[in-house]
Every structure is written in structure tokens, then in C-alpha cells.
């Protein structure tokens, strides 16, 4: 059975009404996490049935389906891959895992449903009797979906009573900027709590006052009502958030604007401190410095390159790190910064939320403004290489671009 024949079978089960529902449900609109994804309009039980009917499809067919622009085709390819995995010997399982990781790195396992149906089997089950460094490597990647693969893969281990990696990864990913990761982390913690409630309580005593409320709510779902109320009443460290002073010299020619620092940045008092944020890798590649330098030296490198750094929002309230959660925003005094830096000739907005905030608060902003893809892993549609390409092409006409390869 060829990939084309399977795709034709999926098309036959599709409906326009379901296509519209799925496009909304999986957030495929502009600046949403599934931006640009395309749907036929086929529901999961139908996709499972197609995969079951063609369980003997070849690895080439699976790969072709995973390369499809259609969400349901990729989902069917993953069902086929998981079915093959359960029948395979160890050598073939390793080959399946390699193909899966390559597809994920290429941005083909690119929504939460695709991750959740595949990661526990293809990664978690494979690693059950092996070292787990792969999980930590995935957790360090700039891709939201590879980060989610890391934490969701631990569900297979947790169900075997092996909780250590789940707790360690939950701690590492607890302050991820995207609420899809807050949900995934909370989900895994809840499953850990089914096996060891006291260990979950120990984790919560350490983190409940700072963890995203979404993750906390998911984690405590299995506690009784009174205990849930007590945990949710934990005083939150988040009240009024304040951004940082600008990084700028009077000779700055380029101003890069974010919206508001995320949780990890606020905690460390550093711009773009979340490890999976690609900002410093992109800045290093563009302006010729090593992104692994100590933070003060990175700031110095930006200033020497005549680059200024700030955020549009000065104060706000926000749960988590998503720009969409910002409330009661008050802007920074950008006109004062422009007066201090009279040589500024271009403003780059790091993502759509920054650009929207700038237009909202400063509708008559006097300098040219370029909106570029967000460097946050929450902007999951584009790979690092594609983001770097877009930043480079936008800035090369204005500035000398460095040659450092991060």
C-alpha cells in the first residue's frame, strides 16, 4: 500500500466541517503554535482504523506520510510506525527511533497530539532498559515539540514505576514559556503522584509557589478536593512583573524589542535566559560573538555591534511566560530611549506579540519596524535554521553581519 493510496483513503473519510473544527482546535492560525498546518478533516478513530488496515505498510510509506503537509497523514504515519515498533526486534526498533527523531528534528512531529501518540512508545519504551541522555538532549533543544517529546516519553517509564527522570525533566522544563509544556509537565507529575504521592508532595513543596498554575492544577488533579484547595492557595511569587532596563549605548543603530521577559529571564535577571530560546545563538551568528560567553560579555558584544535591547512592555501581570497571557500592560518609555540613541535607524520586533504591543502603544512610532520570527521555543512553526535565515536576510541590508557559527 503506497502513501498516496493511504492518503486517498484518508481523503475519502474527510469532511469540510471537521476540517474547520480541527484547524481551530490545533491552533493553525497566524502566530498560533500550529501556524500553517493543514487538515483534511479526519478524526482520530478513522485515522487509527486506516493505520490498522495497513499495518504491513513499508518504512518508506511511513516516511512518505510523515513528510506530508497534511496533519492526518503524518498522524497515520506515526500510528503505522508505533504498530511496527511493537512487532520489531531491537535492531529494527533502533532504526525506527532514528527515523522518528529525524522526522521530529525536521519539524514533522509538530503538534501535541502527534507527540503524545508516539513519544511514550517510540522513545520511552525504547529507553526503558537504556541510559536516558537522549531525553535531556531533547529537553535542551530549541523546539517546543522536541521538548514535549522529552517529558511525554517519560510516561512509559512512570507507568513502570521508574520516576526519577520524570521528576528531573519536570524540574528542568517547569518554567518553559509555552502552556502546552505546562500541561505536559503537570500531566507527567500527576502520573508520578499516582505511584508516589509523597514524592509529588515533596516536589510541590519546593516549586508550588513559582510553578505555572496550569502545571500545578494538572499535577494535583488526583488529590482530594481539600488538598487541591490548599495547594492552589499557595501564595504565588507572581504579582506585578517589571521588565529590565534597556541595554543600549548612545551609538546604537539597531534596537531589538521583545514583549516582556519570560519567567526564567525574570528569575535570572537576564534577557532571554531560558535555555531553549534561540536569541543568543541567533545574535551570536549575526554579530560575530560566541553565544556561550558569560552574560555580561554577551551584552558588551551587542553594544559593540551597535545593537540595543529592550522590551515594549514595562510592567504587567501574567501567569506563565506566554505573551497571550499578559494583562494590565504598561509600556516602557521608548521615546526616551530614542532620544538617548539618536543614531537608531531600525527596530526589530522579536515576534508578533512585540510588534502588536509596539503598534498598540506607539501607533505613530517614528522609525522603520521589522517584525521577525520569535526566538522563543513557543514559536514552534519554524526551525532554528529557518529563523536564523530570516533574521539574517532582514538585517544584512542594514548591518555588517558576523560569521560566528554557534
Residue numbers annotated as active site: 277
Give me the helices (H) in 174-276, please: 179-195, 197-207, 213-219, 225-232, 263-268
How many residues belong to the chain? 406
Q: Which helix (H) or strand (E) covers residue 91, if one does?
A: helix 90-105
Angle between helices 71-87 and 59-66 (to 10 degrees): 150
- What is the DSSP track for 249-273? -TT--EEEEESS--HHHHHHT-TT-
Over its C-alpha atoms, the chain yields an Rg (Å, rounded) of 23
Grid cell in block for residue 157: 517509564
What residues pair up with 324 in beta bridges, in sequence order? none
In angstroms, rounded to a whole number, what is the distance separating the alpha carbons of residues 321 and 323?
Answer: 6
Q: Strand 254-258 relative to strand 313-317: parallel, antiparallel, unpaired?
A: unpaired
DSSP tag of 70: B
Grid cell in block for residue 237: 511569587
Grid cell 500550529 in the structure block, residue: 34
Contact between residue 262 and residue 376 where contact means Cβ atoms under 8 Å apart:
yes
- Give which of 172, 122, 175, 125 is closest to 151, Cα–Cα: 172
Q: Strand 346-350 relative to strand 313-317: parallel, antiparallel, unpaired?
A: unpaired
Amino acid at each position: 500500500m503506497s502513501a498516496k493510496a493511504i492518503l486517498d483513503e484518508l481523503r475519502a473519510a474527510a469532511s469540510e466541517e471537521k476540517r474547520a473544527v480541527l484547524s481551530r482546535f490545533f491552533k493553525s492560525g497566524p502566530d498560533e503554535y500550529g501556524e500553517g498546518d493543514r487538515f483534511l478533516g479526519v478524526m482520530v478513530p478513522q485515522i487509527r482504523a486506516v493505520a490498522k488496515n495497513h499495518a504491513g505498510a513499508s518504512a518508506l510509506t511511513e516516511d512518505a506520510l510523515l513528510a506530508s503537509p497534511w496533519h492526518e497523514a503524518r498522524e497515520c504515519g506515526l500510528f503505522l510506525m508505533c504498530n511496527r515498533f511493537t512487532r520489531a526486534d531491537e535492531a529494527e526498533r533502533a532504526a525506527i527511533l532514528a527515523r522518528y527523531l529525524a522526522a521530529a528534528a525536521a519539524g514533522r512531529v509538530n503538534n501535541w497530539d502527534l507527540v503524545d501518540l508516539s513519544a511514550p512508545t517510540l522513545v520511552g519504551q525504547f529507553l526503558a532498559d537504556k541510559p536516558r541522555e537522549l531525553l535531556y538532549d531533547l529537553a535542551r533543544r530549541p523546539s517546543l515539540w522536541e521538548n514535549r517529546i522529552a517529558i511525554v516519553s517519560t510516561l512509559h517509564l512512570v507507568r513502570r514505576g521508574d520516576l526519577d527522570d520524570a521528576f528531573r525533566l519536570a524540574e528542568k522544563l517547569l518554567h518553559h514559556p509555552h502552556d502546552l509544556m505546562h500541561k505536559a509537565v503537570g500531566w507527567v507529575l500527576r502520573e508520578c503522584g499516582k505511584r508516589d504521592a509523597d514524592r509529588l508532595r515533596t516536589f510541590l513543596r519546593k516549586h508550588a509557589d513559582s510553578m505555572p498554575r496550569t502545571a500545578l492544577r494538572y499535577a494535583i488533579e488526583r488529590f482530594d478536593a481539600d488538598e487541591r484547595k490548599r495547594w492552589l492557595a499557595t501564595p504565588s511569587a507572581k504579582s506585578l512583573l517589571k521588565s529590565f532596563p534597556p541595554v543600549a549605548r548612545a551609538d546604537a543603530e539597531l534596537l531589538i524589542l521583545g514583549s516582556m521577559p519570560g519567567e526564567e529571564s525574570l528569575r535570572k535577571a537576564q534577557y532571554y535566559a531560558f535555555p531553549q530560546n534561540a536569541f543568543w545563538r541567533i545574535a551570536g551568528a549575526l554579530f560575530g560573538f560566541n553565544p556561550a560567553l558569560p552574560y555580561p560579555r554577551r551584552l558588551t558584544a551587542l553594544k559593540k555591534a551597535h545593537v540595543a535591547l529592550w522590551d515594549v512592555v514595562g510592567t504587567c501581570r501574567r501567569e506563565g511566560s506566554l505573551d497571550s497571557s499578559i494583562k494590565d500592560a504598561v509600556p516602557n518609555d521608548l521615546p526616551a530611549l530614542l532620544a538617548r540613541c539618536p543614531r537608531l535607524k531600525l527596530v526589530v520586533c522579536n515576534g508578533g506579540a512585540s510588534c502588536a504591543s509596539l503598534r498598540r502603544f506607539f501607533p505613530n512610532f517614528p522609525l522603520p519596524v521589522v517584525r521577525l520570527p520569535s526566538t522563543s521555543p513557543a514559536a514552534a512553526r519554524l526551525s532554528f535554521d529557518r529563523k536564523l535565515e530570516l533574521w539574517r536576510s532582514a538585517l544584512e541590508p542594514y548591518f555588517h553581519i558576523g560569521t560566528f557559527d554557534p
